[in-house]
């Protein structure tokens, strides 16, 4: 399970510009790995959104 602290640290890493700086210094394989991680993060967010939407919808319907 991810900890809130880990998510916040990654958010700070992205917003600080360090991710872009690190990306520029990586080899092609390293860059691909970084992009794969971001893609997996997007997929995770989509899944979380889907699950939460279903849960909230059920709660609104009184189920």
Largest separation between any pair of C-alpha atoms in the chain: 53
In the chain the first and final C-alpha atoms are separated, in Å, by: 27
What is the tens place of the pLDDT at every residue in 9-23? 999 999 999 999 999
Confidence of residue 2 (pLDDT cuts 50, 70, 90): confident
pLDDT at 51 over 90: yes
Pure H helices in 1-63: 4-16, 18-25, 28-60
Q: List the single range of 10-14, 21-25, 35-39, 51-55 with lowest mean pLDDT.
A: 51-55
pLDDT at residue 37 tops 80: yes
- Does the reported pTM lie above 0.85? no
């Amino acid at each position: 399970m991810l900890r809130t602290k880990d998510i916040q640290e990654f958010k700070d890493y992205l917003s600080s510009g360090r991710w872009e700086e690190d990306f520029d210094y990586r080899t092609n394989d390293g860059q691909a790995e970084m992009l794969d991680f971001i893609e997996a993060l997007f997929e995770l967010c989509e899944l979380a959104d889907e699950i939460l939407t279903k849960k909230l919808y059920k709660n609104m319907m009184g189920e």
